[in-house]
Amino acid sequence: MKRPFLILVFFGLSIDLFAQLTYEKLFVDYDSAWQYKNLKIIPIRFKGPGDPGFQIISLSQALQRRLVSITERGTASTENVHWLRINNRSKIPLFIGAGEIIKGGRQDRIVTRDTVMIPNGTDQYFSVMCVEEGRWTEKEKKFIYSNFANPRLRRVIDQSKNQVRIWKEISDQLDTARIHSPTLAYAGLRQDKKHLALLDEYSRVFLEKFKKSDSTITGIVCMSGDEVIGSDVFAGTNLFYEELGPILVGYIENAVLFGKPVIITDKKVKLYMDKILTGETSQEEYLKKNGKIYRYKDKVIHFTSY
Protein backbone atom coordinates (compact mmCIF):
# COMPACT_ATOMS: atom_id res chain seq x y z
CA MET A 1 0.00 0.00 0.00
CA LYS A 2 1.51 3.25 -1.12
CA ARG A 3 0.85 6.16 1.14
CA PRO A 4 2.06 9.74 0.87
CA PHE A 5 4.70 10.81 3.34
CA LEU A 6 5.08 14.41 4.39
CA ILE A 7 7.33 15.94 7.01
CA LEU A 8 5.87 19.01 8.68
CA VAL A 9 7.20 21.26 11.39
CA PHE A 10 5.09 20.29 14.42
CA PHE A 11 4.93 23.66 16.06
CA GLY A 12 4.14 25.54 12.87
CA LEU A 13 0.98 23.71 11.83
CA SER A 14 -1.77 25.54 10.02
CA ILE A 15 -5.23 25.60 11.54
CA ASP A 16 -6.68 23.84 8.48
CA LEU A 17 -4.43 20.81 9.00
CA PHE A 18 -6.00 20.25 12.40
CA ALA A 19 -9.56 20.80 11.16
CA GLN A 20 -12.16 19.25 13.40
CA LEU A 21 -12.95 15.63 12.58
CA THR A 22 -16.53 16.05 11.29
CA TYR A 23 -18.46 15.60 8.03
CA GLU A 24 -16.88 18.83 6.86
CA LYS A 25 -13.67 16.90 6.19
CA LEU A 26 -14.70 13.23 6.48
CA PHE A 27 -17.17 10.72 5.09
CA VAL A 28 -18.17 7.19 6.12
CA ASP A 29 -17.58 4.94 3.10
CA TYR A 30 -20.50 2.52 3.40
CA ASP A 31 -19.84 1.18 -0.11
CA SER A 32 -16.39 -0.05 0.93
CA ALA A 33 -17.46 -2.03 4.02
CA TRP A 34 -15.64 -5.28 4.79
CA GLN A 35 -17.14 -8.18 6.69
CA TYR A 36 -15.74 -11.42 8.06
CA LYS A 37 -17.71 -13.72 10.35
CA ASN A 38 -18.91 -11.68 13.34
CA LEU A 39 -17.21 -8.39 12.45
CA LYS A 40 -17.98 -5.67 9.92
CA ILE A 41 -15.72 -2.67 9.39
CA ILE A 42 -16.53 0.50 7.49
CA PRO A 43 -13.64 2.86 6.64
CA ILE A 44 -13.87 6.56 7.42
CA ARG A 45 -12.05 8.64 4.81
CA PHE A 46 -10.94 12.17 4.14
CA LYS A 47 -12.82 13.91 1.37
CA GLY A 48 -10.38 14.22 -1.50
CA PRO A 49 -6.74 13.09 -1.18
CA GLY A 50 -5.72 11.57 2.13
CA ASP A 51 -4.21 13.97 4.62
CA PRO A 52 -1.01 12.49 6.08
CA GLY A 53 -1.22 14.81 9.08
CA PHE A 54 1.68 16.04 11.15
CA GLN A 55 4.87 14.13 11.86
CA ILE A 56 4.26 11.92 14.88
CA ILE A 57 4.99 8.34 15.87
CA SER A 58 2.77 5.80 17.62
CA LEU A 59 3.86 3.97 20.75
CA SER A 60 3.90 0.61 18.98
CA GLN A 61 6.18 1.86 16.22
CA ALA A 62 8.44 3.74 18.62
CA LEU A 63 8.96 0.60 20.70
CA GLN A 64 9.49 -1.56 17.64
CA ARG A 65 12.15 0.85 16.35
CA ARG A 66 13.69 1.16 19.84
CA LEU A 67 13.16 4.91 19.92
CA VAL A 68 11.61 4.87 23.39
CA SER A 69 12.14 2.92 26.60
CA ILE A 70 9.56 2.20 29.31
CA THR A 71 10.41 1.36 32.92
CA GLU A 72 8.73 1.29 36.32
CA ARG A 73 8.60 4.53 38.23
CA GLY A 74 9.71 2.84 41.45
CA THR A 75 9.37 -0.23 43.62
CA ALA A 76 6.36 0.55 45.83
CA SER A 77 3.08 -0.73 44.40
CA THR A 78 1.00 1.67 46.51
CA GLU A 79 2.80 4.72 45.13
CA ASN A 80 3.93 3.79 41.64
CA VAL A 81 1.46 1.32 40.15
CA HIS A 82 -0.44 4.04 38.28
CA TRP A 83 2.54 5.59 36.51
CA LEU A 84 5.22 4.37 34.12
CA ARG A 85 8.41 6.15 33.11
CA ILE A 86 9.12 6.72 29.42
CA ASN A 87 12.05 8.28 27.59
CA ASN A 88 11.40 9.42 24.01
CA ARG A 89 14.79 9.30 22.28
CA SER A 90 13.36 10.15 18.87
CA LYS A 91 13.22 13.67 17.47
CA ILE A 92 9.47 13.72 16.89
CA PRO A 93 6.38 13.76 19.14
CA LEU A 94 5.07 10.46 20.47
CA PHE A 95 1.36 9.54 20.62
CA ILE A 96 0.29 7.21 23.44
CA GLY A 97 -3.31 5.99 23.19
CA ALA A 98 -5.72 5.20 25.99
CA GLY A 99 -6.37 1.45 25.97
CA GLU A 100 -2.89 0.36 24.86
CA ILE A 101 -1.60 -2.66 26.79
CA ILE A 102 1.97 -2.79 28.13
CA LYS A 103 2.98 -6.25 29.41
CA GLY A 104 5.84 -6.89 31.81
CA GLY A 105 7.37 -4.70 34.49
CA ARG A 106 6.18 -5.65 37.93
CA GLN A 107 2.67 -6.16 36.53
CA ASP A 108 0.88 -5.61 33.22
CA ARG A 109 -0.68 -2.16 32.63
CA ILE A 110 -3.13 -0.34 30.40
CA VAL A 111 -2.77 3.31 29.35
CA THR A 112 -5.58 5.46 30.78
CA ARG A 113 -5.51 8.58 28.58
CA ASP A 114 -4.38 9.78 25.17
CA THR A 115 -1.17 11.78 25.37
CA VAL A 116 1.24 13.54 23.00
CA MET A 117 4.75 13.61 24.42
CA ILE A 118 7.25 16.06 22.97
CA PRO A 119 10.83 14.76 22.86
CA ASN A 120 12.82 16.73 25.43
CA GLY A 121 15.67 14.37 26.33
CA THR A 122 14.37 13.65 29.83
CA ASP A 123 12.23 11.03 31.55
CA GLN A 124 8.49 11.64 31.41
CA TYR A 125 5.55 9.78 32.94
CA PHE A 126 2.21 8.52 31.66
CA SER A 127 -0.86 7.30 33.48
CA VAL A 128 -1.73 3.60 33.63
CA MET A 129 -3.90 1.10 35.51
CA CYS A 130 -3.26 -2.53 36.41
CA VAL A 131 -4.59 -5.31 34.16
CA GLU A 132 -2.99 -8.17 36.10
CA GLU A 133 -4.52 -8.37 39.55
CA GLY A 134 -2.49 -11.29 40.90
CA ARG A 135 1.09 -10.13 40.28
CA TRP A 136 3.39 -7.50 41.73
CA THR A 137 6.97 -8.75 41.61
CA GLU A 138 10.14 -7.25 43.00
CA LYS A 139 12.00 -8.15 39.82
CA GLU A 140 11.05 -5.92 36.92
CA LYS A 141 10.51 -7.65 33.57
CA LYS A 142 11.09 -5.94 30.24
CA PHE A 143 7.96 -4.14 29.06
CA ILE A 144 6.44 -5.47 25.82
CA TYR A 145 3.78 -3.80 23.70
CA SER A 146 0.53 -5.80 23.40
CA ASN A 147 -1.87 -3.82 21.17
CA PHE A 148 -5.11 -2.10 22.24
CA ALA A 149 -7.57 -3.70 24.61
CA ASN A 150 -11.03 -4.56 23.32
CA PRO A 151 -13.71 -1.81 23.42
CA ARG A 152 -15.45 -3.26 26.49
CA LEU A 153 -12.35 -2.85 28.63
CA ARG A 154 -11.42 0.46 27.00
CA ARG A 155 -14.86 1.78 27.90
CA VAL A 156 -14.41 0.88 31.57
CA ILE A 157 -11.01 2.60 31.56
CA ASP A 158 -12.30 5.77 29.92
CA GLN A 159 -15.49 6.11 31.94
CA SER A 160 -14.44 5.11 35.44
CA LYS A 161 -10.67 4.60 35.88
CA ASN A 162 -11.75 2.47 38.83
CA GLN A 163 -9.27 -0.33 39.52
CA VAL A 164 -11.84 -2.70 41.04
CA ARG A 165 -14.14 -2.31 38.02
CA ILE A 166 -11.23 -2.93 35.67
CA TRP A 167 -10.31 -6.16 37.46
CA LYS A 168 -13.95 -7.29 37.45
CA GLU A 169 -14.29 -6.66 33.70
CA ILE A 170 -11.12 -8.66 33.04
CA SER A 171 -12.34 -11.51 35.25
CA ASP A 172 -15.70 -11.57 33.44
CA GLN A 173 -13.97 -11.67 30.05
CA LEU A 174 -11.66 -14.50 31.12
CA ASP A 175 -14.72 -16.42 32.34
CA THR A 176 -16.54 -15.79 29.06
CA ALA A 177 -13.56 -17.14 27.12
CA ARG A 178 -13.16 -20.01 29.62
CA ILE A 179 -9.53 -19.11 30.07
CA HIS A 180 -7.68 -19.65 33.34
CA SER A 181 -5.02 -17.06 34.11
CA PRO A 182 -3.07 -17.68 37.35
CA THR A 183 -2.47 -13.95 37.82
CA LEU A 184 -5.90 -12.89 36.48
CA ALA A 185 -4.10 -11.13 33.64
CA TYR A 186 -5.93 -9.60 30.71
CA ALA A 187 -3.02 -10.86 28.61
CA GLY A 188 -4.24 -14.38 29.34
CA LEU A 189 -6.84 -13.91 26.60
CA ARG A 190 -4.09 -13.43 24.03
CA GLN A 191 -1.96 -16.31 25.24
CA ASP A 192 -4.65 -18.94 24.78
CA LYS A 193 -3.87 -20.86 21.54
CA LYS A 194 -7.47 -21.19 20.35
CA HIS A 195 -8.29 -17.57 21.05
CA LEU A 196 -5.03 -16.37 19.49
CA ALA A 197 -5.69 -18.42 16.33
CA LEU A 198 -9.04 -16.69 15.87
CA LEU A 199 -7.48 -13.25 16.38
CA ASP A 200 -4.85 -14.03 13.76
CA GLU A 201 -7.47 -15.38 11.34
CA TYR A 202 -9.57 -12.23 11.48
CA SER A 203 -6.49 -9.97 11.38
CA ARG A 204 -5.13 -11.54 8.20
CA VAL A 205 -8.43 -11.02 6.40
CA PHE A 206 -8.93 -7.38 7.38
CA LEU A 207 -5.31 -6.26 7.03
CA GLU A 208 -5.30 -7.64 3.49
CA LYS A 209 -8.40 -5.53 2.74
CA PHE A 210 -6.70 -2.40 4.04
CA LYS A 211 -3.54 -3.25 2.12
CA LYS A 212 -5.48 -3.27 -1.15
CA SER A 213 -7.29 -0.02 -0.39
CA ASP A 214 -6.12 3.55 -1.01
CA SER A 215 -4.48 5.96 1.42
CA THR A 216 -7.42 8.21 2.35
CA ILE A 217 -8.59 6.16 5.35
CA THR A 218 -8.21 7.91 8.69
CA GLY A 219 -10.61 5.93 10.88
CA ILE A 220 -12.98 2.98 11.19
CA VAL A 221 -16.39 2.16 12.61
CA CYS A 222 -16.91 -1.47 13.67
CA MET A 223 -20.08 -3.55 14.09
CA SER A 224 -21.16 -6.97 15.27
CA GLY A 225 -24.67 -8.41 15.42
CA ASP A 226 -27.10 -5.49 15.42
CA GLU A 227 -24.78 -3.11 17.27
CA VAL A 228 -21.97 -0.67 16.62
CA ILE A 229 -18.99 -1.79 18.72
CA GLY A 230 -17.27 1.56 18.38
CA SER A 231 -15.15 3.82 16.20
CA ASP A 232 -11.66 5.30 16.18
CA VAL A 233 -10.70 8.30 14.07
CA PHE A 234 -7.34 10.10 13.89
CA ALA A 235 -6.23 13.52 12.65
CA GLY A 236 -4.09 12.07 9.85
CA THR A 237 -3.69 8.96 7.75
CA ASN A 238 -0.09 8.35 8.84
CA LEU A 239 -1.06 8.00 12.50
CA PHE A 240 -4.13 5.93 11.59
CA TYR A 241 -2.12 3.36 9.66
CA GLU A 242 0.42 3.08 12.47
CA GLU A 243 -2.42 2.40 14.92
CA LEU A 244 -4.48 0.20 12.59
CA GLY A 245 -2.98 -3.19 13.48
CA PRO A 246 -3.05 -2.66 17.27
CA ILE A 247 -6.59 -1.23 17.25
CA LEU A 248 -7.92 -4.03 15.01
CA VAL A 249 -6.83 -6.61 17.57
CA GLY A 250 -9.15 -5.06 20.15
CA TYR A 251 -12.17 -4.92 17.85
CA ILE A 252 -11.57 -8.46 16.62
CA GLU A 253 -11.30 -9.73 20.18
CA ASN A 254 -14.62 -8.08 20.99
CA ALA A 255 -16.27 -9.82 18.01
CA VAL A 256 -14.75 -13.19 18.91
CA LEU A 257 -15.77 -13.05 22.58
CA PHE A 258 -19.12 -11.29 22.41
CA GLY A 259 -20.02 -10.96 18.75
CA LYS A 260 -22.89 -12.31 16.67
CA PRO A 261 -23.53 -12.62 12.92
CA VAL A 262 -23.74 -9.10 11.48
CA ILE A 263 -27.28 -7.94 10.71
CA ILE A 264 -27.03 -4.21 11.43
CA THR A 265 -28.23 -1.90 8.63
CA ASP A 266 -26.35 1.04 7.16
CA LYS A 267 -29.25 3.23 8.26
CA LYS A 268 -28.66 2.35 11.89
CA VAL A 269 -24.92 2.92 11.55
CA LYS A 270 -25.58 6.30 9.93
CA LEU A 271 -27.81 7.37 12.82
CA TYR A 272 -24.93 6.45 15.15
CA MET A 273 -22.26 8.27 13.15
CA ASP A 274 -24.43 11.36 12.61
CA LYS A 275 -24.28 12.00 16.36
CA ILE A 276 -20.49 12.14 16.14
CA LEU A 277 -19.68 13.68 12.76
CA THR A 278 -22.49 16.21 12.12
CA GLY A 279 -20.76 19.03 13.97
CA GLU A 280 -18.35 19.95 16.76
CA THR A 281 -21.09 20.60 19.34
CA SER A 282 -22.94 17.32 18.81
CA GLN A 283 -19.62 15.46 18.70
CA GLU A 284 -18.52 16.92 22.01
CA GLU A 285 -21.85 16.16 23.70
CA TYR A 286 -22.06 12.58 22.44
CA LEU A 287 -18.47 11.64 23.24
CA LYS A 288 -18.68 12.97 26.78
CA LYS A 289 -20.98 10.04 27.59
CA ASN A 290 -20.17 7.54 24.86
CA GLY A 291 -16.45 7.79 24.22
CA LYS A 292 -13.66 10.30 24.49
CA ILE A 293 -12.04 13.02 22.46
CA TYR A 294 -8.41 14.07 22.69
CA ARG A 295 -7.19 17.52 21.73
CA TYR A 296 -3.68 18.84 21.56
CA LYS A 297 -3.38 22.63 21.44
CA ASP A 298 -7.17 22.82 21.07
CA LYS A 299 -7.22 20.62 17.96
CA VAL A 300 -8.73 17.14 17.77
CA ILE A 301 -6.05 14.46 17.37
CA HIS A 302 -8.12 11.34 18.06
CA PHE A 303 -11.56 10.31 19.17
CA THR A 304 -13.06 7.02 20.23
CA SER A 305 -16.74 6.15 20.49
CA TYR A 306 -18.51 3.15 22.01
pTM equals 0.91
Give pLDDT tens digits for 195-237.
999 999 999 999 999 999 988 999 999 999 999 999 999 999 9
**Tens place of pLDDT per residue across the chain (306 aa):** 444 333 333 333 333 444 589 999 999 999 999 999 999 999 999 998 778 877 899 999 999 999 999 999 876 666 678 999 999 999 999 999 999 999 999 999 999 999 999 998 789 999 999 999 999 888 889 999 999 999 999 999 999 889 999 999 999 999 999 999 999 999 999 989 999 999 999 999 999 999 999 889 999 999 999 999 999 999 999 999 999 999 999 999 999 999 999 999 999 999 999 999 999 999 999 999 999 999 988 889 999 999
> DSSP characters for 141-202?
EEEEEEEEPPHHHHHHHHHT--HHHHHHHHHHHHHHHT---TT-BGGGGGTSHHHHHHHHHH
* Residue-range domain boundaries for the chain: 10-52+195-305
Given this model, what pLDDT does residue 11 score?
35
